[in-house]
Amino acid sequence: MSQGMRLMCVHAHPDDESSKGAATMAKYVDSGADVLVVSCTGGERGDVLNPNLKDDPRILRDLAQVRRDEMAAAQAILGVDHHWLGFVDSGLPEGDPLPPLPVGCFALEPLEVPVEALVREIRRFRPHVMTTYDENGGYPHPDHIRTHEVAVAAFDAAGDPTAYPEAGEPWQPLKLYYNGGFSKARITAYHEALVAAGQESPYGEWLEKWDRPERTVTTRVPCSDWFERRDNALIAHATQIDPQGWFFKVPREIQAQIWPYDEYEAAASYVPIADGEDCLFAGLGEPAEADARAGAPGELALDRRVARVAS
């Protein structure tokens, strides 16, 4: 079903693509789809989260270049194409009260500036499907929230010939999904599996403090055969992940048994979303048919916007 189809995954920073939907991307690449990751920022203000690298002089000297090199390594592992949208990481403000965001950062850019940049890339790559974050950013990092705003606005504008006419010929992606990420149901399943196996779980305290509503899940893509590729891509972002950390505490064989898929929430679609959907390209038909629909946006009607938070 994915042979000849095109998927664009819009993320805030390098490494986000490897922790959110990476197994899905690798699966589709192997089945003949073209997959493009768009990184809105360079991750220049990210912390070094791997304790083994905190004092590495090369990293301290030029973190921006290190993040570019890590992204290239992860890209090669996943087999995807990649595009830097070109904006500057906003950093994650901490403190009470929170400090102001740095001048010139992505989160403070006038919305139309990154939207035009993404519309231009959508019209160049011509994706049938896009993925990004929900309105909360998956978690409330200012760049993740801004990425949501930019991706949704660009999805809506790309097919409008009156919007950003200098950015190329109109092209309307047919479906927009939010990445499911680490839902409470997934974390609970991991926690219970570790406890049942007599292993220490890092997730108990996380669950005790859980205060977020569950999202609506519309689509589960089976992709456990690509979990190893996902993990290798994430480890390639060496400054951002502790290879002994919580992300890798559940053995892949256990993950494959209890949670063998990536989850998504359909946010906008020009075709109906079937119950139990298991493919992001479902309902689009053959590539030529999908191309004809996306290339003639004036003839499309938005059939469904799925409720964003489960009741």
Residue 60: its pLDDT value, please? Answer: 81
Q: Which residues are annotated as a binding site?
A: 13, 16, 144
End-to-end C-alpha distance for the chain, whole angstroms: 32
Whether residue 184 contacts residue 273, with contact meaning beta carbons closer than 8 Å, is answered with: no
Cα radius of gyration (the chain): 19
Reply yes or no on whether the pLDDT at 308 is more than 70.
no
Reply yes or no on whether the pLDDT at 293 is more than 60.
yes
Q: In which band, very low, low, confident or very high, does the pLDDT at 307 lie, cut at 50, 70 and 90?
A: very low
DSSP state of 142: H
Reply yes or no on whether the pLDDT at 303 is more than 70.
no
Residue 58: its pLDDT value, please? Answer: 85
Express each pLDDT in 62-84 by its tens digit: 999 999 999 999 999 999 999 99
Express each pLDDT in 122-139 by its tens digit: 999 999 999 999 999 988
Residue 139: its pLDDT value, please? Answer: 85
Tokens coding 232 = 């290798």
Residue 309: its pLDDT value, please? Answer: 36
Classify each residue of 276-308 as buried b or exposed e, where b means 16 or more C-beta atoms within 10 Å of its C-beta.
ebebbbbbbbebeebbebbeebeeeeeeeebee
How far apart CA 294 and CA 108 sit, in angstroms, is: 31
Nearest to 228 by CA among 210, 252, 204: 252
Express each pLDDT in 168-227 by its tens digit: 999 999 999 999 988 899 999 999 999 998 988 989 988 999 988 888 999 999 999 999
Q: 232 phi and psi, to 5 degrees? A: -65, -40
Pick the CATH number of 6-182+216-299 from 3.40.50.10320, 3.40.228.10, 1.10.3720.10, 2.40.37.10: 3.40.50.10320
Nearest to 35 by CA among 79, 84, 69, 68: 79
How far apart CA 310 and CA 206 sit, in angstroms, is: 21
Q: What share of the chain in percent tops pLDDT 70?
A: 95
Please indicate whether residue 208 or residue 311 has the higher confidence score (pLDDT). Answer: 208
How far apart CA 245 and CA 237 sit, in angstroms, is: 14
Q: In which band, very low, low, confident or very high, does the pLDDT at 300 lie, cut at 50, 70 and 90?
A: low
How far apart CA 187 and CA 246 sit, in angstroms, is: 11
Element (DSSP H or E) covering residue 117: helix 112-125
Residue 168: its pLDDT value, please? Answer: 97
Residue 103: its pLDDT value, please? Answer: 96
pTM, two decimals, is: 0.94
How far apart CA 130 and CA 121 sit, in angstroms, is: 12
Reply yes or no on whether the pLDDT at 33 is more than 90.
yes
Residue 310: its pLDDT value, please? Answer: 33
- Strand, helix or coil at 244? coil
Element (DSSP H or E) covering residue 152: helix 142-157
Q: Which residues are annotated as a binding site for Zn(2+)?
A: 13, 16, 144
Express each pLDDT in 231-266 by its tens digit: 999 999 999 999 988 889 899 999 999 999 999 999
Residue 282: its pLDDT value, please? Answer: 96
Judged by average pLDDT, the poorest of 46-55, 103-112, 161-170, 276-285 is 46-55
Q: In what order do the strands lie in the sheet with 129-132?
A: 81-87, 34-41, 6-11, 129-132, 175-179, 261-269, 219-222
Residue 83: its pLDDT value, please? Answer: 98
Residue 306: its pLDDT value, please? Answer: 47
Highest mean pLDDT among 13-27, 43-57, 185-199 belongs to 13-27
